[in-house]
Amino acid sequence: MTHEPDARDAERVAAASAWIAQDPDPETRDELAAIIESVRGGDAAASAELADRFDARLEFGTAGLRGEIAAGPNRMNRVLVSQAAAGLAAYLLEHAAPGRAPSVVIGYDGRKNSAVFARDTAEIMAGAGVRAILLPRLLPTPVLAFAVRHLETSAGVMVTASHNPPNDNGYKVYLGGEHHGSQIVAPSDAEIAAHILRVASTATVPELLRAGFETATEDVVDEYVRRTAASAAPGAPASQPRVVYTAMHGVGWETASRVLEAAGFDAPALVEAQIAPDAAFPTVSFPNPEEPGAMDLSFELARAVDAELVVANDPDADRLAVAIPDAAAPDGAGYRRLTGNEVGLTLGWLAARRAPASARGDGGPSGSLACSIVSSPGLEAVARAYGLDFEATLTGFKWISRAPGLVFGFEEALGYLVNPEVVRDKDGISAAAAFLSLAAELKAEGKTVADHLDEFVERFGCHASGQISIRVTELSRIGAVMARLRAEPPASVGGIRVERIEDLADGFGSLPPSDVLRIVLDGGARVMVRPSGTEPKLKVYLDAVSEEGTVAERRAAATATIATLEAGMRELVA
């Protein structure tokens, strides 16, 4: 399809040409030059592509940066990363104590350009006057989060896109000091973003000063391994389940293997095709354990070795997926992946039982359990049963990690914070060790994880959950759905009466403002609706509880309610 170039095309071509002039990456320079040539030749698709790349900019927020690797301000590339590094350096210098140089530790995973982006960050930070420390090699995100506290740096940067599609990358920022190694929240995100935009408008990448940086020793990794293993399985029984492990082509296994060995666990059977870092992710179309088919190779191996447990880390090893034997699993897989809520509630119960004694003198536990507002409210039932405090936070471990007196935190998207004194972020390696510890205890008692899940339902009720994800090509559709739900609030969902709707747009209770609707229904059910923070999706979270009857009857009732809610919400957001 042809297109007659107009004035806007000319402006974008000029901006793209200026971009090429400062881009140190020959691959993205050549890619953008080819698009410019096609635009000049009247290619309508090339004109639309250039508009998409230059009419917007990847926003730096509490999730940092994340996007597809390609040229232009609306993509991830060396120009954007260099501007981000310079902006973050300016923020750190602005907030540094008088007479003290700020510091940053930088980590990177095995994705395309991760090492290059990390090195650019270290050199530019050092050139700006920030002490820059690069981790010694590609490592999991939890090791970087640990290093911020262990090295007592002002900040940390992790170059990763976690479980995003293969051609994505990202830039996650942590703060030290009073933030204790948690990810950034407002107003820090806006302040850093303002510095980044100033750099982008006043300096080109070649004008940014660069300097030499430090490289951390292996002691950082050794200490993470030691402290994670020490807290993983105190008094772990000798009886251990047969386990299958996959790293999903990520960086988790080298560190996880050391933790498991140091904690005294038997070596798991490995999904060899997925165990080494590979930026192409050749065996999965989407390297996320939640995606259909992502764990097929794990299940195949599990059937071959008669595994009692399957554990999977995502590519940067900050998430954990767990699967257990289930003859009723679809497609004859023989294994069922537990939901993030099931794993979170199981680990939360474990954390409550192991919580330290209270300083009150009554011998009971102290501290708090925390989860995001879209995760299962069953964690509050656990906290209440053990006399612990409970905190419901906004989505993301930047919020969960800041809960007062935190003992354990989780969110339904396979994220678990089991060791807050070591890592103030989700950690798929320490969570795997904790779950293996529990499974070993259960096996020593002649029980399975499935038995334990039944015991949870018997004690705390069946807290069933479901989720609807609506992927869009136009982000405006998400805004339109949220606006319609606010303007025309439903009186019922699937025939279940709505008690009230809580709009978090202006904040709610202790929660900061967030684009979230919480729909509370009869019988303890609820629905949460929000735009995804990292993907072009509208996400709907469904929760139901049943506390009457046998375990089977509770499950049946709660599951039926979830099905009703799902059908009703699909009609409302269609």
Tokens of 99: 């007479």
N-term to C-term CA, the chain: 32
Tokens of 10: 């000319």
The sign of the CA dihedral 79, 84, 86, 87 is: positive
CB-side exposure of 9: number of CA atoms within 13 Å? 19
Instruction: Provide the Cα torsion 448, 450, 455, 456; round to 10°.
Output: 130
Burial class (CB in 10 A: 0-12, 13-18, 19+), 55: middle
Whether the Cβ atoms of residue 52 and residue 8 lie closer than 8 Å to each other: no
Query: How far is the C-alpha of 283 from the C-alpha of 296, rounded, in Å?
Result: 10
> Checking DSSP bridges between strand 214-215 and strand 243-246, what pairing results, if any?
unpaired
Enter the DSSP assignment of 411: E
Q: How far is CA 365 from the centre of its chain?
A: 29
Whether the Cβ atoms of residue 216 and residue 105 lie closer than 8 Å to each other: yes
| Catalytic annotation present for 162 | yes
Whether the Cβ atoms of residue 452 and residue 551 lie closer than 8 Å to each other: no
The angle, 0 to 180 degrees and rounded to 10, between the axes of the packed helices 378-385 and 449-460 is 80
> From the candidates 47, 82, 114, 162, which is the catalytic residue?
162
Whether omega for the bond prior to residue 187 falls within 30 degrees of 0, making it cis, is yes
Query: How far is the C-alpha of 278 from the C-alpha of 142, rounded, in Å?
Result: 19
Secondary element (H or E) of residue 134: strand 131-134
Query: How far is the C-alpha of 166 from the C-alpha of 68, rounded, in Å?
Result: 9
Secondary element (H or E) of residue 244: strand 243-246
What SS3 class is residue 477? helix
Query: How far is the C-alpha of 201 from the C-alpha of 441, rounded, in Å?
Result: 58
Residue type, 264: G
* b/e 512-527 (16+ beta carbons within 10 angstroms → b): eebebbbbebeebbbb
Q: Give CA angle at 440 (434, 446), nearest 5°.
A: 140
Whether the Cβ atoms of residue 493 and residue 572 lie closer than 8 Å to each other: yes
Tokens of 36: 């410019």
| Residues forming the active site | 162
